[in-house]
Structure 1
Amino acid sequence: MDLSTLMLLCVFAFTAGLVDAIAGGGGLIQTPAALVLLPQYPVATIIATIKLPSFTGTGLAIGQYIRRVRLHFPTAVLMCITAFGAAFAGSALLTMVSSRFMKPVIFFILAGVAVYTYTKKNFGEHTTKPYSRKKQLWYAFLISLVIGFYDGFIGPGAGSFLILAFIALLGYDFLHASANAKLVNMATNSGSIALFLLKGTILWSVALPMAVCNGLGGIIGARLAIAKGNHFIRLFFLCIVTATLLRLAYDVFVKN
């Protein structure tokens, strides 16, 4: 691999980190770029390699959010532990079967998400949910379990699904939903990385420079989200969901 290819991958990694820190969806940028620019490597090796940049960007974005957004840490710890195990299991399954059969289902679910978010103008404003602490923890556990497994197994739109779930089920606004989604995303990336480390499939000479660039993008993206607030994140969220839909539509209706 030549230096120009690595530089292009780093540019894509930076952009992915910035986008992902705001509304999820960084994988839509980083993953296709890596697949196109590194055609000589197996797909599993490429997916394993780009998990490290995703982890770095997410971790540095969390650092920005924690300084300015109040999080409930017992809930966060529960979600991270659950998401780690779920993503590990999802990635393990990915090494044995294809995830292609799930893409049409995810496409139609995301289409509904986009329409609902666009038409419901107050979606993502803080809403107090009349739940007991036990029920809130139960919902948090289910969200991290299901979407954590999904992220390890297939991936596209996982960050957007987390934001949607935190808003719809736990009553978070967009800013708090984004902050919590980054925590869970870091755990899912950790679970996948743990599996790929055991498999020995990470290209470190590619992963480490991309990780630096993704991390820088994550810091800038998180600061933008915090400074601009809910309205900005809502619009960005809609853009990312639409981009995910277009990507899935290509995979489902054109590529096949």
Structure 2
Amino acid sequence: MSPRIRLLVFLLACVCLVPAVFHVADRMPVFGAHPLPYGDAINAAGTRERHVTNMVSAVNFDYRGFDTLGEEFMLLCAVTGTTMLLRGSRGEHITARPGQVEGRPIPARSDAIVLICRMLAGLTVLFGLYVALHAMTTPGGGFQGGVIVACGTMLFFLGEGYRGWRRLMRSEFLDACEGGGATLYALCGFASMAAGAPFLGNILPLGSARDVFSGGLMLVENAGVAFAVAGGFAVLFLEFLEETRIEQDGNGR
């Protein structure tokens, strides 16, 4: 198909779609309107039935917990596929020597950058853990907290460089966190069925509302999500940064 024909097809599609877009936009609710009753029903029942004050977590881990399980395994499959593609092209050897392009030397890090990254890396990881632990009381949860924890590892890389970062980051540990977290979430559902409850139905004490450890089984599911997401994103960082290292030869040099 020539560029002129493709452009013609594109313009025809626009002519057909633009009236539909304006039709939908014209009938959208006014700004600030709340026409859907689902959110109101969850807000009214969540604290009473699940003893949590973060209704997003109640939806993610209880009312629609099976959907979240599917999302976790979608992330697991995506990270696994990326890992297989990258490792398959470069091999499994591990070195601590960053690659260097001729004419582009690696600049030395200033003391200020090292100090700032060392301070912020720990604080970022702690904040990620805080966000994950308070999933039942305040906005946040295992997914958000896991991403923040993984970002903390990147700050460590920026401060310590590839060699120091690679000594800490081990693919075996990160793979276990990712797969173990997703497995823990699935096991929560099977544990509920073994206890005679529906899949992912709560079988643990719900605790008190506004307490960090309220929510019953949702706490365990949230922990599984936190481990899976932190491990998954850290594995992605590891694999992409491994693409920049110097390959070992057959003698391991």
Q: Structures share a fold, TM > 0.5?
A: no
The TM-score normalised by the length of structure 2 is: 0.26
The TM-score normalised by the length of structure 1 is: 0.26
